[in-house]
Amino acid sequence: MCPDPAMNSVVTSPELCVIEGDGIGREVIPAAIEVLMKVAPDVVIRPMPAGWAVFQERGTSLPEETIQMARDCKAVLFGAVSSPAYPVEGYFSPIVRLRRTLRAFANLRPAQHLPVPTSREGVDMLVVRENTEDLYIGHEHTENDGQTGIAEKVITRDATERVSRLTYSLAQRIGRKKITIVHKANVLSQSDGLFRRVALEVSAFYPEIITDELYVDTAAYWMVKDPSRFDIILTPNLYGDILSDMAAAWGGGLGLAPSLSLGDGIAIAEPVHGSAPDIAGKGIANPTAAILSVAMLLRHYWSRIEAADRIERAVRQTLAEGDYTADIYSQDSISTAQFTAQICANLV
Ligand code: NAI
Ligand code: MG
């Protein structure tokens, strides 16, 4: 049914491993589940623990039973976790570990114009970020008595090929026209040079899709100057992390930015934002990013296009009616619960 090997999980009654995490993860994920249950009431919800609070209680940020449940369900909804900015013995980022353990090798981050004052007209792009390697393998050490820090950047043919194939077949399936390969092969000829070469090899199998390329610094320039020139961006992990946050600003802000990580028969839906400790517990977080992440899961993984369309229409309608959480417009803003209720009311 789907040409994409990563998207072959058409099941009748899907199970979803739900990890709220820390901070506003505990507020936006219940909101997203409330909306999901309205459009797909057959989905079986499996709540599981992970995050900083879990680490403090149990000495691990990602308990083994959570990983097992994620594997069994083959689909995860992940809120956000708080990670300390200083090294903590035994702590690792559960989302980075989960993506790697489940081999969710491609991270899809769309940025689209939405009817809010913070969003830019004409923007409709998708950043596809390689999700398993690059500088994020975490191989770092110091030399010279701690005065030199060294991090390894790893790019492999295998990982580049699978993310490139997924990107091109996805572009074909959803009717996208252009893919821009973003790298820095002029300076990093062995690592980014390999990424560029392999991505271009894959592009040769898709002559109907326009392929171009940009150095990452030039891509950043154009991302600010004229974001409407981008359709799909295909890029290694670190550049994808940075560029997709820039793109999220044009979409209207972090509170509106969804993402989906895909692998072979596995998907992790995750808002781009973090645990937002500055607003956690106040009931004012914007649940749109989490809700749109659920829509991505429905569309790209469970192939429930109608349900995904319903959610996206309801989100647009709610925003178009001027119902905003405080991150979008601080005057007359409404709470997470009120906003979610409005989206549910607008589901047609
Ligand atoms: P953040 O995304 O949590 O917050 C950045 C700013 O955006 C804050 O002012 C916050 O209030 C606002 N914001 C974010 N999401 C929002 C929403 N849904 N509604 C309204 N406002 C929203 O990033 P920050 O502050 O850099 O990181 C906070 C913590 O989150 C850190 O511990 C960081 O490690 C973690 N983090 C976790 C991620 C994950 O679990 N996937 C991703 C990014 C950060
Ligand atoms: Mg990021």
Ligand 2 centroid–CA 239 distance in Å is 10
Instruction: Name the amino acid, one letter, at 324.
Output: Y
How far apart are the C-alpha atoms of 223 and 123, rounded to whole Å? 10
Token pair of 249 as six digits: 């600003």
How far apart are the C-alpha atoms of 176 and 170, rounded to whole Å? 8
Neighbour order of strands in the sheet with 75-80: 44-47, 15-21, 75-80, 266-269, 260-263, 106-112, 124-130, 232-235, 178-183, 210-215
Could you read off the pLDDT of 152-185 as tens digits, one per residue?
Answer: 999 999 999 999 999 999 999 999 999 999 999 9
Q: Does residue 10 carry a pLDDT above 80?
A: no
Mutational pocket test of ligand 1: of 56, 273, 319, the residue with most ligand atoms within 8 Å of the beta carbon: 273
Mutational pocket test of ligand 1: of 254, 292, 336, the residue with most ligand atoms within 8 Å of the beta carbon: 254
What are the structural domains of the chain? 1-107+253-348 (3.40.718.10), 120-250 (3.40.718.10)
Instruction: Name the amino acid, one letter, at 124.
Output: D
Report the alpha-carbon angle 81-87-88, nearest 5. 70
Residue 331's pLDDT is 87
Could you read off the pLDDT of 93-141 as tens digits, one per residue?
Answer: 999 899 989 999 999 999 999 999 999 999 999 999 999 999 988 899 9
Work out the average pLDDT over 73-98: 94
How far apart are the C-alpha atoms of 97 and 126, rounded to whole Å? 24
